[in-house]
Chains A and B, each alone.
Chain A
Amino acid sequence: MSAVEDGTSALRLVGVSRRFGGITAVADVDLEVRVGARHGIIGPNGAGKTTLFNVISGELKATRGRIELFGREITRHSPPARVALGLGRTYQITRPFVHLTVRENLTIGSHGLSRSKFSLFRSWRSYRARNLEVEELAHRFGLADRLDSPVSDLSHGEVRQLEVALALTLRPRLLLLDEPGAGLSPGERVSMRTLLHSLPPELTLVMIEHDMDLVRDVVNRITVLHFGEVVAEGPTAEIQSDPRVREIYLGSKR
């Protein structure tokens, strides 16, 4: 458990469901993540993990249930309204702005919650404090010498790092990481792990990940989803030895 964890809840889902026509992608999910926690969400493909993230971020509306962010109900909030309350997220399929440079990407993020995003006549390059912030972030994420490269020139690993950096430009209090390790080479995986470890301890993390090494390394509590339902939840070690989880991943004995 993280030292900063203070018992108040960062994210609370009560009976959240999301249906697509007749298919229930997320079924009656209850979830509580405390402030400062590092929470993992695992489950086989199609378990509804990313749909759950989309419902939390507001890109999909919940069909049923209630979502609270730092004690405030956000079930009907738009995505930008949730961002304003401290929610950040990254995507499994990376989605930075591919036609813009790394600097432009991070600058867009850094203005996202400020009134300066409506500034019409001042060059975005003239915001000194934001420029420093962007450069510092790029430096931390090993992108310092790529600042003026278009994203289309970056390697996959660099794009993954940019994806996380982009989410951090908004200084979120809760960060949803959707498979930050997907498609990374072993070397890139190590730097991603270092990077996730370097995140401020007061930042609450919820991470979807298939790479169990990365999960074990970063999170201390795991929720297991299967067919949209929560089948197990608990400390990492407990979940790893849970027979139901083994059954889901390896198939039943029968």
Chain B
Amino acid sequence: MSAVVRVLDRRPAWLRAAVALVLLAVAAVIPQLGSTFYVSLGLNFLIFGLLAMSLDLIGGYTGLVSLGQAAFLGVGAYGIAWGLKQGLSADASIGLALLAVVVTALVFGLAAVRVGGITFVILTLALGQIIWGLAYRWVSVSGGDNGLPISDRPGLGPIDLTDSAAYYYFVLVIFVICVLILRAIVNSPFGLTLRGIKDNEPRMRTLGYHVGLHKYLAFVIAAFFSGVAGVLFGFFNLYISPTAIDFGHNGTVVLMAVLGGLGTLWGPLLGSLVIVFLQQYLSIYVQRWVTVQGVIFVLVVLFAPDGLWGLLTRMGRWLTKRLGAPPGVEPCLAERSVVGTYEDDLA
């Protein structure tokens, strides 16, 4: 027993790979359940999970929480809709959409990364509202309140993506690729830089870092992945309207990331799973699901300030400590002090 626990505690690479494979297998089985509802649930989870993870890069790792991240999803989705409407090919429309996302981020980022803290939150909120306002009012381009239809999903070679199960697998593959890239980024020297900036920005300057440039790059990279989520979102719904990028949806993305735990990549993914489940599943059975969502959020903020992911890892550590401690040996000497206080709470 204690040997097993010790392996769990060390979390070796093969164990993490095994967990990832199991989760992937679960994700791959969903379309086989034969219900389009579950496929749609899964697609929502993958797309919003990617969006929440992209927010985490700028919000959780760099410490700049953006209230305008859904706007980049909007630019991505509107980009393909507009491209297709102009008669461009699907590939060209996707290219155009992602280019539009990057250009928007390059322009907005110039303003956004000059400020920090709450000012950044408000500024990104305003920038997000600009995109929403354009979508709502620039009728000749965006279709205004009616939104734009997206004619059809492109095929992928011989694979017909109009079938929702096939599209689900396509999204799953893109999702996994994006997650691998995001994970590589947060583990790179650049990712370490972002954590340093979040922790102590002035110190980064006297260690030779041009902090603004790093924040700018992080902002644009995060926006790019939100744009990828937007392209997937557009081809999923085959329709985009201003509602998808209104203030509420920008807030929901932040909610997902905070609920799951900022700065962990997996936390926001977990958060999006919970929120998508509440919105799409619980809402069928519980009329007051928004209240449930609110209560869960308040509880998490009060009792797990580092989010559901933080709560899980702390519980895991507590369990391994309880079960895995060889007699007479004090385990985990170098644990963080927060763990101590948490255990004191439990005692």
Residues of A within 8 A of B (CB): 57-59, 78-80, 83-84, 88-89, 91, 95-100, 104, 107-109, 111-113, 116-125, 127, 148-150, 152-153, 166, 169-170
Determine if B187 and A113 form an interchain contact, defined as CB atoms under 8 angstroms apart.
no
Check: B195 CB closer than 8 A to any chain A CB.
Answer: yes
Residues on A with C-beta less than 8 A from B198 are 99
Distance in angstroms from B323 CB to nearest chain A CB is: 23
Check: B3 CB closer than 8 A to any chain A CB.
Answer: no
Distance in angstroms from A114 CB to nearest chain B CB is: 9
* Binding stretch for chain A, among B100-108, B148-156, B162-170, B203-211: B203-211
Q: B50-81: contact bitstring with A at CB < 8 Å (1 yes, 0 no)? A: 00000000000000000000000000000000
Q: Which of B184, B190, B196, B336 contacts A152 (CB 8 A)?
A: B336
Determine if B189 and A149 form an interchain contact, defined as CB atoms under 8 angstroms apart.
no
Q: How far is the CA of A96 from the CA of B206 in the complex (A)?
A: 11
Check: B188 CB closer than 8 A to any chain A CB.
Answer: yes
Q: Which of A98, A113, A117, A153 contacts B199 (CB 8 A)?
A: A98
Determine if B199 and A99 form an interchain contact, defined as CB atoms under 8 angstroms apart.
yes
Determine if B206 and A57 form an interchain contact, defined as CB atoms under 8 angstroms apart.
yes
Q: Which of B195, B202, B207 contacts A112 (CB 8 A)?
A: B207
Residues on A with C-beta less than 8 A from B205 are 58-59, 78-80, 83
Knowing A95-B203, A97-B195, A121-B188 are in contact, say whether A112-B208 is a contact too (CB < 8 A): yes
Task: Name which of B204, B207, B211 has the most chain A CB atoms within 10 A of its CB.
Answer: B207
Residues on B with C-beta less than 8 A from A59 are 202, 205-206
Check: B185 CB closer than 8 A to any chain A CB.
Answer: yes
Q: How far is the CA of A149 from the CA of B209 in the complex (A)?
A: 24
Q: Which of B189, B209, B336 contacts A107 (CB 8 A)?
A: B189
Main secondary structure, interface of B, reads: helix
Closest to A107 in B: B192
Interface size class, chain B: 20 to 34
Residues on A with C-beta less than 8 A from B334 are 148-149, 153
Q: How far is the CA of A127 from the CA of B202 in the complex (A)?
A: 25
Q: How far is the CA of A57 from the CA of B44 in the complex (A)?
A: 50
Knowing A89-B206, A111-B193, A121-B181 are in contact, say whether A100-B188 is a contact too (CB < 8 A): no
Task: Give me 4 other A-B pairs in contact (C-beta within 8 A), A59-B202, A79-B205, A117-B189 excluded.
Answer: A80-B205, A97-B196, A104-B195, A117-B193
Shortest Cβ-Cβ A-B pairs, 7 listed = A112-B208, A83-B208, A97-B199, A79-B205, A112-B207, A124-B189, A121-B184
Q: Which of B185, B187, B191, B336 contacts A150 (CB 8 A)?
A: B336
Determine if A153 and B184 form an interchain contact, defined as CB atoms under 8 angstroms apart.
no
Residues on A with C-beta less than 8 A from B336 are 150, 152-153
Check: B140 CB closer than 8 A to any chain A CB.
Answer: no
Check: B337 CB closer than 8 A to any chain A CB.
Answer: yes
Q: How far is the CA of A100 from the CA of B203 in the complex (A)?
A: 13
Q: B193-231: contact bitstring with A at CB < 8 Å (1 yes, 0 no)? A: 101101110111111111100100100000000000000
Q: How far is the CA of A84 from the CA of B208 in the complex (A)?
A: 6
Residues on A with C-beta less than 8 A from B196 are 97, 100, 108
Q: Which of A111, A112, A120, A125 contacts B185 (CB 8 A)?
A: A120
Q: How far is the CA of A97 from the CA of B210 in the complex (A)?
A: 17
Closest to A105 in B: B196
Q: How far is the CA of A195 from the CA of B214 in the complex (A)?
A: 33
Residues on B with C-beta less than 8 A from A100 are 192, 195-196, 199
Q: How far is the CA of A71 from the CA of B204 in the complex (A)?
A: 25
Residues on A with C-beta less than 8 A from B193 are 108, 111, 117
Residues on B with C-beta less than 8 A from A148 are 334
Q: How far is the CA of A166 from the CA of B203 in the complex (A)?
A: 10
Determine if B181 and A83 form an interchain contact, defined as CB atoms under 8 angstroms apart.
no
Residues on A with C-beta less than 8 A from B208 are 80, 83-84, 112-113, 170
A-B contact pairs, 22 of them (CB 8 A): A78-B205, A78-B210, A80-B208, A95-B202, A95-B203, A96-B200, A97-B203, A98-B199, A99-B198, A100-B195, A104-B195, A108-B193, A108-B204, A109-B207, A111-B189, A113-B208, A117-B193, A117-B209, A119-B189, A120-B188, A121-B184, A124-B188
Determine if B184 and A120 form an interchain contact, defined as CB atoms under 8 angstroms apart.
yes
Determine if B337 and A153 form an interchain contact, defined as CB atoms under 8 angstroms apart.
yes
Residues on A with C-beta less than 8 A from B191 are 124
Knowing A97-B196, A99-B199, A100-B199 are in contact, say whether A80-B188 is a contact too (CB < 8 A): no
Q: How far is the CA of A59 from the CA of B201 in the complex (A)?
A: 12
Q: Which of A80, A89, A123 contacts B210 (CB 8 A)?
A: A80
Closest to A82 in B: B206
Q: How far is the CA of A111 from the CA of B204 in the complex (A)?
A: 11
Q: How far is the CA of A153 from the CA of B334 in the complex (A)?
A: 8
Determine if A118 and B207 form an interchain contact, defined as CB atoms under 8 angstroms apart.
no
Q: B222-249: contact bitstring with A at CB < 8 Å (1 yes, 0 no)? A: 0000000000000000000000000000
Q: How far is the CA of A89 from the CA of B208 in the complex (A)?
A: 11
Distance in angstroms from A172 CB to nearest chain B CB is: 10
Q: Which of B192, B203, B209, B217 contacts A96 (CB 8 A)?
A: B203
Task: Name which of B184, B187, B192, B214 has the most chain A CB atoms within 10 A of its CB.
Answer: B192
Q: B127-166: contact bitstring with A at CB < 8 Å (1 yes, 0 no)? A: 0000000000000000000000000000000000000000
Q: How far is the CA of A58 from the CA of B202 in the complex (A)?
A: 11
